[in-house]
Structure 1
Amino acid sequence: MDYLQIFFLAIVQGLTEFLPISSSAHLILPSAILGWTDQGLAFDVAVHVGSLTAVLWYFRHDVQQVVVHWCQSVTGGKATPESRLGWLLILATIPAGLAGLLLGDFIESQLRSIAVIATTTILFGLLLGVSDFWGRRVKTLHQITWHSALLIGLAQALALVPGTSRSGITMTAALALGFTRESAARFSFLMAIPVIILSGGYKCAQLMQLPQVPWSDIVLGAVLSCMAAYLCIRVFLIWITRIGMMPFVIYRLLLGALLIAILVNS
């Protein structure tokens, strides 16, 4: 990959990782339109590191409280809302972890086509719109139950299918369960932390087996992805209660239509 590709794809990945618009759908466009080759393992590791750094830094106070209280609850301390949130985040991560282990290779080899990504981009975009429109939007983050966390976690497992959008499907599930837009977004972003750690750790292990590792590309990609992801999280949480999900729904429908047009004309 040259520096132009790294710059462009890292910014796109960082921006789309936490927006409900599917990062995989965007990363396929440069390949389809510009003829760029697959970004490769090193780039995947770079953007995982960048995204993880961004979400950890933005939620550093929340993460610190959750980790400290969770550790205290494990060692016999009293339960608190923060320790409870820690357990719920673990519960919500299990379905995606199991699905990745059992179905990851199949999805990687069979479900990365433009047709699949176009279909899921449109389908789950419509579901996001329905959940946002019909959801009651009254529950806060501290009202989440183990039942709700598990359902959102099951929805997150669907994000293994390209085009679904991890943040999009988890927010869709949370909105459908009656959570406010901000609470749905915050829980989705916090859920990203263990998932990115697991996925990024697996990819790092693969990267270490390569004879040569392009560290300069990884550092550049990670820095760019981190800056874009941090900006995305900050702006999204400020504006989500005002603009709602409809702009993202419309965007997903247009993006899906563009992918279908590319497929038809290819």
Structure 2
Amino acid sequence: MTYFHILLVAAIQGLTEFLPVSSSAHLILLPALSHMEDQGLTIDVATHIGTLLAVILYFRADVKMALSGVPDLLRGRMDSPGARLALLLVIATIPVVVVGFVLKLTGLEEAMRSVTVIGWTMLIFGLVLYWADRTGGSEHRAEDWTMKHAWVMGLWQAVALIPGTSRSGITITAARRLGYERSDAARLSMLMSIPTIIASGTLLGLDVIAEGNMALLRDASIAALFAFFAALLALSLMMRLLRSISFTPYVVYRVVLGLVLLWIAYS
């Protein structure tokens, strides 16, 4: 891979991972529409690590609190905010791990990586996000997160395994329908991404080790670094913009891209 290709992949992954526009779809579309070679598992793992570090840094106070509660949680105690947050994140991650494992075993994961599928999911779930954002209430804050809400958001997150759905987009959609205000919906979605990225990164990492493809360490390090900075930038901008605007700009982008992809797929 050329350095330009590595930086392009890292920028796409970093900028789109936490925006409700689907990073996986953009990475699938890059080789499909540009005829560039697929970046491969090693670069995928590296960019996931970069985005993981970005979200941990941005939400470091919440991450620190959740980690501080792990010892209490292991002792069966739920009386601290940290233990409660850690448990809710575990609950929210279970559906996507189970469904992801099933899709990988059955081979359906690869079968869904098409321009047609991405076009429809971009369009449909973009409109669903618009509906949820417009009709959802704002009576809940992130501190009100419950086991039931964590489970519901986790089930919605599992749908994001269909390329083009967007993990952040679908979990924000769920949170808005449950009545969380915009910035807190995004905050919960980002926190849910941490164990999810760790799980998916671990699975991809095992595949890389199994292939014995360790020669791309330098390229992977560059990809991780640039994905980190791109993700941190995207996170900062989105959280800042949510104080004054809705999710409509992302919806417009999704709808336009979805229609273009469907035109390409069916023409």
TM range (shorter): over 0.9
Q: Is the 8 A contact 2:129 2:173 kept in 1?
A: yes
Mapped to 1, the partners of 2:25 and 2:210 lie a distance apart of 28
Match of 1:31 in 2: 31
Does residue 118 of structure 1 match 2:119?
yes
TM-score in terms of structure 1 length? 0.95
* Residue type of the alignment partner of 1:125: G
Structure 1 stretch 202-211 or stretch 37-46: which is displaced more? 202-211
RMSD: 1.4
Match of 1:237 in 2: 239
Q: Is the 8 A contact 1:18 1:167 kept in 2?
A: yes
* Residue type of the alignment partner of 2:135: W
Mapped to 2, the partners of 1:107 and 1:178 lie a distance apart of 33
Structure 1 stretch 26-35 or stretch 153-162: which is displaced more? 26-35
Match of 1:5 in 2: 5
Deviations along 1:194-244, one digit per CA (max 9) or x if unpaired, are 111111111112212234421011001000101101111111111113111
The correspondence of residues 202-213 of structure 1 with structure 2, limited to 5 A, is 202-213=203-214
TM-score in terms of structure 2 length? 0.95
Match of 1:88 in 2: 88
Relative distance call for 1:205 and 1:49 in structure 2 (3 A) is same
Relative distance call for 1:151 and 1:78 in structure 2 (3 A) is closer
Deviations along 1:164-187, one digit per CA (max 9) or x if unpaired, are 000000000000000011111111
Relative distance call for 1:212 and 1:109 in structure 2 (3 A) is closer
Q: Is the 8 A contact 2:77 2:83 kept in 1?
A: no
Deviations along 1:139-182, one digit per CA (max 9) or x if unpaired, are 10111111111000000000110000000000000000000111
Deviations along 1:73-115, one digit per CA (max 9) or x if unpaired, are 4336561233211111100000001101112343322111111
Mapped to 2, the partners of 1:76 and 1:198 lie a distance apart of 23
Match of 1:130, SS state, is: helix
Mapped to 2, the partners of 1:132 and 1:161 lie a distance apart of 21
Match of 1:139, SS state, is: coil
Match of 1:99 in 2: 99
Mapped to 1, the partners of 2:171 and 2:157 lie a distance apart of 6
Match of 2:100, SS state, is: helix
1:263 to partner: Cα distance: 1.7
Deviations along 1:237-258, one digit per CA (max 9) or x if unpaired, are 1111311110110010011112
Identity rate of aligned residues, in percent? 42
The correspondence of residues 168-183 of structure 1 with structure 2, limited to 5 A, is 168-183=169-184
1:31 to partner: Cα distance: 2.0
1:8 to partner: Cα distance: 0.7
Task: Say how many residue pairs are matched.
Answer: 265
Does residue 252 of structure 1 match 2:251?
no
Q: Is the 8 A contact 2:121 2:165 kept in 1?
A: yes
